[in-house]
Structures are given as structure tokens and as C-alpha cells.
Amino acid sequence: MKKFLVNKNKKTLYIPKDAIIDKHIKFDGTIRAGLFVCFWGNIEAENVILSAGCYVGGDIICKNATIGPKSEFNDIIAEEKVLVFPKCRGRFIKADIVMIKERSVIDKVSANLIIVDGMTKIGEIEGGKIIASRE
């Protein structure tokens, strides 16, 4: 059983690498997950920061989300920003600002501002302003 670390001053919950969380997790602050953490339920927090290779079986409900490279997720519903690093796979992202890096595969994105950086596969885009760049 891996132990969580809670920093009450910074309102941060640290989840160690290779941990498996089989329940819904809700935290008033920031959740920082290490490498290859597996979440089978929903994640609810103000900020969600996932390292590389994480898997989220439920939904991510937050204010800001940062998804590390090669991670997989179902739905992300954020109030402000979502940053998706390269080679991620996901079903749905809804936020005010969404930035998706190269070689990610997302089924649907809905946002006011969508920034796609590099070759990315997106099934359906719904947004106010869309910026795509290829470097």
C-alpha cells in the first residue's frame, strides 16, 4: 500500500509513482501524481497535475489540468486551462483554454481557445478560436 503525502500549507496531495487508486478521489487543493499512477475513479480537485504514463478511468473535474506525456484519460472538465503533453489519448476535453501537444489522440475538444501544437488527431473540435501550428 502506497502512502499519500499531504502538504497542508500548500494544499497539495502527492501520490507516489506506481500507485493504484481504486476509488473516487476529491481534494480541496492540488493533486500531483507521480509516474504511472492508475486512477480507476474520478478525480476532483482545484488543480490536477499528472506525470507521464498515468491512466484515469473516470473523469477529471478541476479548475486547471496538466496531463503528462503518454497518459490516458476519459473526460476532462475544467473551468480554466488544460495542457495535454505529447502522445496522450483521451475521449473528451472541455475547458476555457486547451493546449494539445504533438501526436496526441483526442476524440472531442470543446473550448473558447484551442491551441494544437504539432501533428495531432482530434475527432471533433468545437471552439471559438482555433490555432494550429506545425513545427
Q: Which three cell numbers stand for residue 123?
A: 475527432
87-113 average pLDDT score: 96
The residue length of the chain stands at: 135
Tell me the one-letter amino acid at 4: F
Residue 135 has pLDDT above 80, yes or no: no
pLDDT digits (tens, 9 = 90+) for 51-68: 999 999 999 999 999 999
- Whole-number Å distance between alpha carbons of 58 and 130: 27
Give every CB contact of residue 134 below 8 A, 6+ residues apart in sequence: 118, 119
* Amino acid identity at 35: L
Going by pLDDT thresholds of 50, 70 and 90, the confidence category of residue 104 is very high
Say what the pTM is: 0.93
